[in-house]
Structure 1
């Protein structure tokens, strides 16, 4: 078996076919650059590039890419990321961060909204491929250049040294929006009882008296963007 074939066999939990990659971006030069990197790698297969949310959803429904690359400029609030990960459970979203998005708040929001991997937009091709494959197979990757900004996401800890899980971050964000346990359950597709359990865990870990106090503590600890 040659090196390229062996590499493909290791991608996607033993799958023999390459990972199918799509991009959400409107700038032609950037689209061409990403397509060139993806097409040149034997373990990856280029699908297409789109720019609108509607076109992205339609592409995911018709072409079924394994990975969608989202640039921070195309999804500044990471709402598309959230939508895609909820509609397509097996889809891996990889976030490409411009300089404006390399902040703890932006990285935290990208992770909370479902991005499996994060990489600088100006990373070299090897690091982009690493982020794509790790996001699709391992389900978690943050480029070393972004690690310094990611303290509020990866192993973020309360004053008592207790970390919040990714699901607890999601629930915390919804608490900050004023959602009830039932609304949180519907949003995250879990039971109301499970939502209440997450809220209880968050209150305990943040040493908070109630939900309002938990939100205040979260802002104090930079767990939520201000």
Structure 2
């Protein structure tokens, strides 16, 4: 029997409470389309659309949405995404990617700055709903149309020719998933300062400008694989 796709599973899943969804982008056509999709789904509730960092923070403080959709054109460096996920720990951010943000490094940067779900900005209703629900349920989701470029990461086999140690590769994997130094430290049973030291070693060894650049270079060097992480 063929396994159900993530989108089919998300469509069939009805959460115990409705998921409150907001949008950061004031382009009328995008707002109208997203609002239509959200209000048509009984498991979702539409909050509002705003533009800019201050309005987004005020909206989250006032209404406490579960999910904020942010378009790549409204937050090109993902600084707002990073700020929102630091201020509102339970918030799930879904990135609506335009063509300019669909290269490997741009998507790695999005994930490093706190994005939980990645989906093309022109995705249909089912795919947008899947990105919302699975972002909430799993903490990470990549639309299948983007999977060829980036996806759930796992370390590949390490050989003597690879420049990173096993622990550095572990840390890089978690960085690619958008984890902070404190979160990684908790998961690996080390201090945050140790994690930052590993990250600095990774940047130096890969000659990378920053974390996102390191993740992108790791893909190119086959240090990280796009294969889905096995369950269980």
TM above 0.5, yes or no, is: yes
1:194 aligns with 2:197: no
Name the counterpart of 1:133.
133
Q: Are residues 1:165 and 2:173 paired?
A: yes
Structure 1: segments with no counterpart, 5+ residues = 1-6, 175-183, 204-209
Post-superposition Cα deviations, 1:118-151, rounded to whole Å, max 9, x if no partner, equal 1011111100000000001111100011111116
* Aligned positions of 1:64-103 closer than 5 A: 64-103=64-103
Pair 1:118 & 2:118 matched: yes
1:216 to 192, 204, 207: 207
Give the Cα–Cα distance (whole angstroms) in 1 for the partners of residues 177 and 128 of structure 2. 26
The C-alpha deviation readout for 1:19-41, integer Å capped at 9, x for no partner, is: 00000002111101100000000
Q: 1:19 to 1:170 in 2, by over 3 A?
A: closer
Aligned length: 193
**What is the CA-CA distance between 1:195 and the residue it aligns to?**
2.4
Q: 1:102 to 1:169 in 2, by over 3 A?
A: same
1:154 aligns with 2:153: yes
Structure 1 distance, partners of 2:40, 2:57, is 26
Residue 62 to residue 221, structure 1, CA distance change in 2 (3 Å): closer
Whether contact under 8 Å (1:20, 1:66) holds in the other structure is: yes
In structure 2, the CA distance between the partners of 1:71 and 1:65, relative to structure 1 (3 Å rule), is: same
1:83-131 CA-to-partner distances (Å, cap 9, x unmatched) read 0000000000000101111011111011111111110111111000000
| Cα distance change of structure 1 residues 211 and 96 upon mapping to structure 2, 3 Å threshold | closer
In 2: Cα distance, 1:75 partner to 1:35 partner: 19
Aligned-residue Cα RMSD (Å) equals 3.3
Is the CA contact (8 Å cut-off) linking 1:168 and 1:198 kept in structure 2? no
Name the CA distance, whole Å, in 2 between partners of 1:146 and 1:170. 17
Compare relative contact order (CA 8 Å, sep 6+) and give the higher one, 1 or 2: 2
Structure 2: where are the runs of 5+ without partners?
1-10, 220-232
Residue deviations 1:173-199 (CA, integer Å, cap 9, x gap): x9xxxxxxxxx77xx8979x7123214
Deviation at 1:202, TM superposition (A): 4.6
